[in-house]
Amino acid sequence: MTSLSFELTIGILKIFSFVVPVLVSVALLVYLERKVLGAVQLRKGPNVVGPFGILQSFADVLKLLTKENLLPSSSNKFLFIFAPMLTLILSLIAWAVIPISSTYVIANINIGILYLFAVSSFGVYGVIIAGWASNSKYPFLGALRSAAQMISYEVSIGFVIITVLICVGSLNLIDIVESQKNMWFAIPLLPMFVIFIISALAETNRLPFDLPEDEATLVAGFFTEYSSISFGLFFLAEYANMILMSSLTVILFLGGWYPPIDIFPLNAIPGIFWFVIKVFLILFVFLWVRATFPRYRYDQLMRLGWKIFLPFTLIWVVITSAFLFYFGLLPN
Protein backbone atom coordinates (compact mmCIF):
# COMPACT_ATOMS: atom_id res chain seq x y z
CA MET A 1 0.00 0.00 0.00
CA THR A 2 2.90 2.34 0.83
CA SER A 3 4.39 1.93 -2.63
CA LEU A 4 1.03 2.76 -4.20
CA SER A 5 0.63 5.93 -2.16
CA PHE A 6 4.26 6.80 -2.90
CA GLU A 7 3.63 6.45 -6.64
CA LEU A 8 0.46 8.48 -6.28
CA THR A 9 2.37 11.28 -4.54
CA ILE A 10 5.07 11.25 -7.21
CA GLY A 11 2.38 11.36 -9.90
CA ILE A 12 0.62 14.31 -8.30
CA LEU A 13 3.92 16.16 -7.87
CA LYS A 14 4.71 15.50 -11.53
CA ILE A 15 1.32 16.88 -12.56
CA PHE A 16 1.94 20.01 -10.48
CA SER A 17 5.39 20.35 -12.04
CA PHE A 18 3.61 20.75 -15.39
CA VAL A 19 0.47 22.65 -14.44
CA VAL A 20 2.06 25.36 -12.27
CA PRO A 21 4.70 26.40 -14.85
CA VAL A 22 2.02 26.40 -17.56
CA LEU A 23 -0.26 28.69 -15.56
CA VAL A 24 2.62 31.01 -14.60
CA SER A 25 3.79 31.15 -18.20
CA VAL A 26 0.23 32.02 -19.24
CA ALA A 27 0.49 35.12 -17.04
CA LEU A 28 3.91 35.93 -18.48
CA LEU A 29 2.65 35.28 -22.03
CA VAL A 30 -0.16 37.79 -21.58
CA TYR A 31 2.42 40.32 -20.36
CA LEU A 32 4.71 39.44 -23.29
CA GLU A 33 1.85 39.84 -25.75
CA ARG A 34 1.06 43.33 -24.49
CA LYS A 35 4.73 44.27 -24.55
CA VAL A 36 5.22 42.91 -28.09
CA LEU A 37 2.07 44.62 -29.36
CA GLY A 38 3.25 47.80 -27.66
CA ALA A 39 6.66 47.57 -29.31
CA VAL A 40 5.13 46.91 -32.74
CA GLN A 41 2.75 49.85 -32.36
CA LEU A 42 5.46 52.16 -30.92
CA ARG A 43 3.95 52.22 -27.44
CA LYS A 44 5.41 51.20 -24.10
CA GLY A 45 2.92 48.52 -23.09
CA PRO A 46 2.31 47.75 -19.39
CA ASN A 47 5.05 49.41 -17.33
CA VAL A 48 3.52 50.41 -13.99
CA VAL A 49 2.85 47.29 -11.87
CA GLY A 50 6.14 45.80 -10.69
CA PRO A 51 9.50 46.16 -12.43
CA PHE A 52 8.86 46.78 -16.18
CA GLY A 53 5.18 46.05 -15.50
CA ILE A 54 5.87 42.33 -15.19
CA LEU A 55 3.23 41.89 -12.45
CA GLN A 56 0.48 43.39 -14.63
CA SER A 57 -1.17 40.02 -15.44
CA PHE A 58 -1.18 38.99 -11.77
CA ALA A 59 -2.88 42.26 -10.91
CA ASP A 60 -5.44 41.57 -13.66
CA VAL A 61 -6.11 38.08 -12.26
CA LEU A 62 -6.68 39.54 -8.79
CA LYS A 63 -9.08 42.07 -10.23
CA LEU A 64 -11.01 39.36 -12.10
CA LEU A 65 -11.22 37.24 -8.95
CA THR A 66 -12.79 40.01 -6.91
CA LYS A 67 -15.48 40.85 -9.47
CA GLU A 68 -19.02 39.56 -9.26
CA ASN A 69 -19.79 36.47 -11.34
CA LEU A 70 -22.99 37.21 -13.26
CA LEU A 71 -25.37 34.51 -14.48
CA PRO A 72 -27.78 35.56 -17.25
CA SER A 73 -31.31 34.86 -16.03
CA SER A 74 -32.43 32.85 -19.06
CA SER A 75 -29.23 30.85 -19.48
CA ASN A 76 -28.78 27.15 -18.89
CA LYS A 77 -27.06 27.57 -15.51
CA PHE A 78 -25.22 24.25 -15.27
CA LEU A 79 -23.80 24.32 -18.79
CA PHE A 80 -23.02 28.04 -18.49
CA ILE A 81 -20.73 27.39 -15.52
CA PHE A 82 -19.47 24.08 -16.88
CA ALA A 83 -18.24 25.42 -20.27
CA PRO A 84 -15.26 27.52 -19.04
CA MET A 85 -14.22 24.73 -16.67
CA LEU A 86 -14.28 22.22 -19.53
CA THR A 87 -12.21 24.52 -21.73
CA LEU A 88 -9.52 24.97 -19.09
CA ILE A 89 -9.49 21.28 -18.12
CA LEU A 90 -9.03 20.25 -21.75
CA SER A 91 -6.19 22.70 -22.26
CA LEU A 92 -4.42 21.33 -19.17
CA ILE A 93 -4.95 17.55 -19.53
CA ALA A 94 -3.20 17.63 -22.91
CA TRP A 95 0.07 18.31 -21.05
CA ALA A 96 -0.04 14.73 -19.71
CA VAL A 97 1.72 13.43 -22.82
CA ILE A 98 4.02 16.35 -23.72
CA PRO A 99 7.65 15.25 -23.27
CA ILE A 100 9.92 18.15 -22.32
CA SER A 101 13.01 15.94 -22.30
CA SER A 102 13.73 12.35 -23.33
CA THR A 103 12.79 11.10 -19.87
CA TYR A 104 10.55 13.74 -18.31
CA VAL A 105 6.91 13.18 -19.22
CA ILE A 106 3.84 12.33 -17.13
CA ALA A 107 2.49 9.54 -19.37
CA ASN A 108 4.63 8.11 -22.15
CA ILE A 109 1.86 6.39 -24.12
CA ASN A 110 2.06 4.69 -27.53
CA ILE A 111 -0.57 6.91 -29.11
CA GLY A 112 0.54 10.24 -27.66
CA ILE A 113 -0.01 12.24 -30.83
CA LEU A 114 -3.53 10.84 -31.30
CA TYR A 115 -4.34 11.71 -27.69
CA LEU A 116 -3.23 15.30 -28.29
CA PHE A 117 -5.24 15.46 -31.50
CA ALA A 118 -8.32 14.13 -29.72
CA VAL A 119 -8.00 16.55 -26.79
CA SER A 120 -7.47 19.55 -29.06
CA SER A 121 -10.53 18.56 -31.10
CA PHE A 122 -12.63 18.38 -27.91
CA GLY A 123 -11.71 22.01 -27.27
CA VAL A 124 -14.57 23.15 -29.48
CA TYR A 125 -17.10 21.79 -26.96
CA GLY A 126 -16.25 24.45 -24.39
CA VAL A 127 -16.86 27.18 -26.95
CA ILE A 128 -20.02 25.71 -28.42
CA ILE A 129 -21.57 24.90 -25.00
CA ALA A 130 -20.73 28.40 -23.77
CA GLY A 131 -22.35 29.92 -26.84
CA TRP A 132 -25.51 27.88 -26.54
CA ALA A 133 -25.90 28.05 -22.76
CA SER A 134 -25.63 31.87 -22.75
CA ASN A 135 -28.95 31.99 -24.66
CA SER A 136 -27.96 35.16 -26.46
CA LYS A 137 -27.40 36.05 -30.09
CA TYR A 138 -23.73 37.03 -30.24
CA PRO A 139 -22.38 34.11 -28.21
CA PHE A 140 -24.45 31.72 -30.32
CA LEU A 141 -23.08 33.13 -33.58
CA GLY A 142 -19.58 32.94 -32.13
CA ALA A 143 -20.12 29.31 -31.16
CA LEU A 144 -21.35 28.38 -34.65
CA ARG A 145 -18.39 30.09 -36.29
CA SER A 146 -16.00 28.42 -33.91
CA ALA A 147 -17.44 24.94 -34.51
CA ALA A 148 -17.15 25.25 -38.29
CA GLN A 149 -13.71 26.86 -38.13
CA MET A 150 -12.11 24.39 -35.75
CA ILE A 151 -13.44 21.35 -37.62
CA SER A 152 -12.21 22.77 -40.94
CA TYR A 153 -8.68 23.36 -39.73
CA GLU A 154 -8.46 20.07 -37.86
CA VAL A 155 -8.62 18.34 -41.23
CA SER A 156 -5.40 19.97 -42.45
CA ILE A 157 -3.75 19.55 -39.03
CA GLY A 158 -4.58 15.85 -39.29
CA PHE A 159 -2.89 15.56 -42.69
CA VAL A 160 0.19 17.45 -41.46
CA ILE A 161 0.45 15.08 -38.51
CA ILE A 162 0.08 12.10 -40.87
CA THR A 163 3.00 13.37 -42.99
CA VAL A 164 5.21 13.58 -39.92
CA LEU A 165 4.07 10.15 -38.76
CA ILE A 166 4.97 8.62 -42.15
CA CYS A 167 8.51 9.93 -41.65
CA VAL A 168 8.71 8.65 -38.06
CA GLY A 169 6.84 5.34 -38.09
CA SER A 170 5.52 5.73 -34.55
CA LEU A 171 2.73 7.55 -32.74
CA ASN A 172 4.84 8.04 -29.62
CA LEU A 173 5.89 11.67 -29.03
CA ILE A 174 9.34 10.72 -27.69
CA ASP A 175 9.98 8.61 -30.81
CA ILE A 176 8.88 11.55 -32.96
CA VAL A 177 11.40 13.85 -31.32
CA GLU A 178 14.21 11.28 -31.31
CA SER A 179 13.87 10.67 -35.05
CA GLN A 180 14.73 14.38 -35.54
CA LYS A 181 18.11 14.08 -33.84
CA ASN A 182 19.99 14.65 -37.10
CA MET A 183 17.57 16.82 -39.00
CA TRP A 184 14.50 18.71 -37.80
CA PHE A 185 11.37 17.97 -39.81
CA ALA A 186 10.92 21.71 -40.34
CA ILE A 187 13.60 21.53 -43.07
CA PRO A 188 12.40 18.65 -45.31
CA LEU A 189 8.72 19.35 -44.55
CA LEU A 190 8.89 23.14 -44.63
CA PRO A 191 5.49 23.69 -46.36
CA MET A 192 3.79 21.44 -43.82
CA PHE A 193 5.49 23.34 -41.00
CA VAL A 194 4.07 26.63 -42.29
CA ILE A 195 0.60 25.13 -42.76
CA PHE A 196 0.73 23.66 -39.26
CA ILE A 197 1.49 27.04 -37.70
CA ILE A 198 -1.31 28.73 -39.65
CA SER A 199 -3.75 25.96 -38.73
CA ALA A 200 -2.63 26.23 -35.11
CA LEU A 201 -3.60 29.90 -35.21
CA ALA A 202 -7.05 28.91 -36.45
CA GLU A 203 -7.36 26.04 -33.97
CA THR A 204 -6.58 28.29 -31.01
CA ASN A 205 -8.89 31.04 -32.33
CA ARG A 206 -6.04 33.54 -32.51
CA LEU A 207 -5.79 36.48 -34.83
CA PRO A 208 -6.03 36.68 -37.82
CA PHE A 209 -8.59 33.86 -37.37
CA ASP A 210 -10.29 34.96 -34.15
CA LEU A 211 -13.75 35.09 -35.72
CA PRO A 212 -15.43 33.28 -32.79
CA GLU A 213 -14.69 36.33 -30.62
CA ASP A 214 -14.61 38.94 -33.36
CA GLU A 215 -15.14 42.12 -31.32
CA ALA A 216 -15.89 44.22 -34.39
CA THR A 217 -19.03 42.24 -35.24
CA LEU A 218 -19.87 39.95 -32.29
CA VAL A 219 -19.08 42.10 -29.21
CA ALA A 220 -16.90 39.38 -27.66
CA GLY A 221 -18.18 36.28 -29.44
CA PHE A 222 -18.82 33.19 -27.36
CA PHE A 223 -17.85 34.76 -24.02
CA THR A 224 -19.93 37.94 -24.33
CA GLU A 225 -22.07 36.94 -21.33
CA TYR A 226 -19.18 35.81 -19.15
CA SER A 227 -17.78 37.90 -16.35
CA SER A 228 -15.32 37.65 -13.51
CA ILE A 229 -13.50 34.34 -13.04
CA SER A 230 -15.56 32.38 -15.60
CA PHE A 231 -14.25 34.81 -18.21
CA GLY A 232 -10.82 34.40 -16.60
CA LEU A 233 -10.96 30.63 -17.15
CA PHE A 234 -11.63 31.12 -20.88
CA PHE A 235 -8.78 33.60 -21.01
CA LEU A 236 -6.40 31.21 -19.23
CA ALA A 237 -7.47 28.34 -21.48
CA GLU A 238 -6.87 30.34 -24.67
CA TYR A 239 -3.30 31.17 -23.68
CA ALA A 240 -2.64 27.68 -22.29
CA ASN A 241 -3.81 26.33 -25.65
CA MET A 242 -1.41 28.66 -27.43
CA ILE A 243 1.49 27.30 -25.36
CA LEU A 244 0.26 23.76 -25.99
CA MET A 245 0.08 24.21 -29.78
CA SER A 246 3.53 25.81 -29.74
CA SER A 247 4.93 22.83 -27.83
CA LEU A 248 3.27 20.50 -30.31
CA THR A 249 4.89 22.43 -33.19
CA VAL A 250 8.25 22.15 -31.45
CA ILE A 251 7.79 18.41 -30.94
CA LEU A 252 6.61 17.72 -34.48
CA PHE A 253 8.91 20.02 -36.45
CA LEU A 254 11.64 21.68 -34.39
CA GLY A 255 13.30 18.69 -32.79
CA GLY A 256 11.92 19.02 -29.26
CA TRP A 257 14.75 19.15 -26.73
CA TYR A 258 17.61 18.75 -29.24
CA PRO A 259 20.00 21.66 -29.84
CA PRO A 260 20.13 23.15 -33.37
CA ILE A 261 23.58 21.64 -34.04
CA ASP A 262 24.93 18.66 -32.11
CA ILE A 263 28.30 20.17 -31.09
CA PHE A 264 29.92 20.63 -27.69
CA PRO A 265 28.84 23.89 -26.08
CA LEU A 266 25.30 23.53 -27.42
CA ASN A 267 24.60 19.91 -26.46
CA ALA A 268 25.93 20.44 -22.94
CA ILE A 269 22.96 22.69 -22.18
CA PRO A 270 20.01 20.73 -20.70
CA GLY A 271 17.30 19.78 -23.21
CA ILE A 272 14.53 21.58 -21.36
CA PHE A 273 16.28 24.88 -22.06
CA TRP A 274 16.15 24.28 -25.82
CA PHE A 275 12.53 23.16 -25.56
CA VAL A 276 11.50 26.33 -23.74
CA ILE A 277 13.47 28.57 -26.13
CA LYS A 278 11.78 27.00 -29.16
CA VAL A 279 8.31 27.22 -27.61
CA PHE A 280 9.04 30.86 -26.86
CA LEU A 281 10.05 31.51 -30.48
CA ILE A 282 6.83 29.96 -31.83
CA LEU A 283 4.79 31.97 -29.30
CA PHE A 284 6.57 35.11 -30.48
CA VAL A 285 5.49 34.25 -34.05
CA PHE A 286 1.89 33.95 -32.76
CA LEU A 287 2.08 37.46 -31.26
CA TRP A 288 3.91 38.90 -34.26
CA VAL A 289 1.19 37.58 -36.59
CA ARG A 290 -1.42 39.22 -34.37
CA ALA A 291 0.32 42.56 -34.62
CA THR A 292 0.84 42.32 -38.39
CA PHE A 293 -2.20 40.85 -40.13
CA PRO A 294 -5.80 42.09 -40.25
CA ARG A 295 -8.62 39.71 -39.40
CA TYR A 296 -9.82 37.36 -42.15
CA ARG A 297 -13.38 37.51 -43.42
CA TYR A 298 -15.33 34.34 -42.65
CA ASP A 299 -15.70 33.13 -46.26
CA GLN A 300 -11.98 33.76 -46.85
CA LEU A 301 -11.21 31.66 -43.78
CA MET A 302 -13.31 28.76 -45.06
CA ARG A 303 -11.82 29.09 -48.53
CA LEU A 304 -8.28 28.96 -47.13
CA GLY A 305 -9.08 25.89 -45.04
CA TRP A 306 -10.98 23.78 -47.54
CA LYS A 307 -9.80 24.93 -50.97
CA ILE A 308 -6.11 25.57 -50.34
CA PHE A 309 -4.87 23.76 -47.23
CA LEU A 310 -6.87 20.55 -47.67
CA PRO A 311 -5.78 19.77 -51.28
CA PHE A 312 -2.24 20.95 -50.61
CA THR A 313 -1.72 18.80 -47.51
CA LEU A 314 -3.41 15.83 -49.17
CA ILE A 315 -1.02 16.04 -52.13
CA TRP A 316 1.95 16.45 -49.79
CA VAL A 317 0.98 13.28 -47.90
CA VAL A 318 1.02 11.39 -51.22
CA ILE A 319 4.31 13.00 -52.37
CA THR A 320 6.05 12.34 -49.07
CA SER A 321 4.97 8.72 -48.85
CA ALA A 322 5.83 8.09 -52.52
CA PHE A 323 9.27 9.68 -52.04
CA LEU A 324 10.00 7.64 -48.93
CA PHE A 325 8.73 4.46 -50.59
CA TYR A 326 10.76 4.73 -53.82
CA PHE A 327 13.98 5.69 -52.07
CA GLY A 328 13.53 3.00 -49.44
CA LEU A 329 13.53 5.49 -46.59
CA LEU A 330 10.32 4.28 -44.94
CA PRO A 331 10.95 3.59 -41.23
CA ASN A 332 11.15 -0.22 -40.70
Partner 1 sequence: MFLVGSFFLFAAFLITTCIFVIFSKNPVNSVLFLVLAFLNSTFLFILIGAEFVGIILAIVYIGAVAILFLFVVMMLDIQITTLMFNIKRYIPLALLFAGIILAEIIYLTVFKTSKDNLDTFIRSKNNTEQIGDVLYTEYFIDFQLSGIVLLLAMIGAIVLTHVYRPTIKRQNIESQNSTTAEDRVKLVKIKPGEGIKDD
Q: What is the C-alpha separation between 322 and 314, in angstroms, rounded? A: 13
Stretch that binds partner 1, among 37-45, 53-61, 112-120, 241-249 (CB under 8 A): 112-120
Determine the Cα–Cα distance for residues 218 and 76; give it in Å rounded to an integer: 21
Q: By CB under 8 A, is residue 211 in contact with partner 1?
A: no
- Report if residue 147 touches partner 1, rule: CB under 8 A: yes
Least CB distance to partner 1 at residue 8 (A): 13
Nearest approach in angstroms of CB 5 to partner 1 is 15
d(CA 71, CA 75): 7
Q: Draw the binding track, 24-63, toward partner 1 (x: CB under 8 A; -: no contact).
A: ----------------------------------------
Output the smallest distance, CB 274 to partner 1, in A. 29
Does 222 participate in binding partner 1 (rule CB under 8 A)? Answer: no
First to last CA, the chain: 42
According to CB under 8 A, which one of 95, 115, 223, 234 is a site residue for partner 1?
115
Contact status, residue 146 vs residue 222, Cβ threshold 8 Å: yes
Buried b (16+ CB within 10 A) or exposed e, 2-23: eeeeeeeeeeeeeeeebeeebb
Residue from 80, 117, 226, 257 that binds partner 1 (CB under 8 A)?
117
Residue 139: CB minimum distance to partner 1, A: 12
| Residue of 108, 125, 105, 83 lying closest to 14 (CA atoms) | 105
Residue choice 31, 80, 95, 140 for contact with partner 1 (CB under 8 A)? 140
d(CA 133, CA 77): 7
Residue 162 found at the interface with partner 1 (CB under 8 A): no
228/48 Cα distance (integer angstroms): 23
Distance separating alpha carbons of residues 4 and 11, to the nearest angstrom: 10
- Footprint of partner 1 (CB under 8 A): 79, 109-111, 114-115, 117-118, 121-122, 124-125, 128-129, 132, 140, 143-144, 147-148, 151, 154, 171, 299-300, 303
